[in-house]
Amino acid sequence: MNEEEAFLKIKEGVRLEKLLDVSQYKENYIKRRIAVRMRSLQLPKYVEYFAYLQEHKAEYDILLDKLTINVTQFFRDPEIFVELENTILPDIMMGLKSPLRVWSAGCSTGEEPYSIAISIEETAEKLGILNYDFEVYATDLDIIAIHKASEGIYEGRTLDNIAPQRRTKYFSTDGRNYKVRDQIKRSVKIIKWNLMDPYKKNFFDIVFCRNVIIYFTRELQKTVLGHYYDSLKENGILFLGKTETMLQDYRDRFNCINIKERIFRKI
């Protein structure tokens, strides 16, 4: 078996063992991520690493973890949360009758969906709306990340963007770890879901899919953006990551309402 065949076998192994079709991710990205794992095992060749995978099936879990980059933070890119709280949420909340539903797609360890829930609570308070009814659906493929999200316990730099008064209001602490309070936790539903599959139809007012599709091939980006389009209600709002762009194919389905912050409205 040559190196290229071994690389294909590794991808096929991930598909069969972990049910993730990584051939739909950008090839350079997959190669870089596999290389990280191969370096730490000191196996410089795909052929060697594939042989190792065949002997150690549990290695597929570790590889999957390496393939999914979980970098995230509370209020990541704070300016988009300013936009959310000052413009997008008041607009929706003032006119909305049914519960507000937001989807954090590719939520990683939970910082994004909890930040969204805090933003909604704060906006409701500012608008003088009592007991505002909302749900944040937080989905990710990575079960280790999902588990951490469900625990809702954090420490370190991930909390850097949370102002002190918000920390006190929405977290309990033992001085080292910060635990999301129940008032926020109960509005966030954490679910394992592969974005390659369609999700709820015509259901969400807002979809956050930030720093996820950047790793996908153009074809998969097209599929996933189609899923977001279908899952948003009419006039629903889509947030992409700062380095992600709307595909040309979707420019007649989403209006860009803030180019700098990558915010779009379903037409």
* Residues within the interface to ligand SAM (CB under 6 A): 68-72, 76, 106, 108, 112, 140-142, 145, 194-196, 210-212, 241
Distance in Å, CB of 209 to ligand SAM, minimum: 7
Distance in Å, CB of 115 to ligand SAM, minimum: 9
β-pair type (153-154, 178-180):
antiparallel
The CA-atom distances, in angstroms, between 78 and each of 70, 84, 171, 247, 256 are 18, 10, 19, 25, 20
Nearest to ligand SAM of 68, 123 (CB atom): 68
Provide the token pair at 260: 């700098």
CA dist 253 and 53 (Å) reads 43
Phi-psi map region of 16: left, alpha, beta (phi>0 left; psi -120 to 50 alpha): alpha
Helix (H) / strand (E) element for 263: namely strand 263-266
Nearest to ligand SAM of 18, 233 (CB atom): 18
Distance in Å, CB of 24 to ligand SAM, minimum: 8
Q: Which amino acid is at 79?
A: E
Nearest to ligand SAM of 124, 154 (CB atom): 154
The count of other CB atoms within 10 Å of the CB of residue 202 is 10
Of 60, 80, 65, 204, the C-alpha closest to 148 is 65
Nearest to ligand SAM of 10, 64 (CB atom): 64
Nearest to ligand SAM of 8, 196 (CB atom): 196
To 10 degrees, the CA torsion angle through 186, 188, 189, 191?
A: -140
Distance in Å, CB of 246 to ligand SAM, minimum: 17
Nearest to ligand SAM of 47, 144 (CB atom): 144
Provide the token pair at 195: 């974005």
Distance in Å, CB of 239 to ligand SAM, minimum: 9
54-91 as b/e: b if 16+ CB within 10 A: eeeeebbeebbbbbbeeebbbbbbeebbebbbeebbee
Nearest to ligand SAM of 68, 187 (CB atom): 68
Distance in Å, CB of 127 to ligand SAM, minimum: 26
Distance in Å, CB of 211 to ligand SAM, minimum: 4
The count of other CB atoms within 10 Å of the CB of residue 175 is 5
Distance in Å, CB of 21 to ligand SAM, minimum: 9
Nearest to ligand SAM of 23, 70 (CB atom): 70
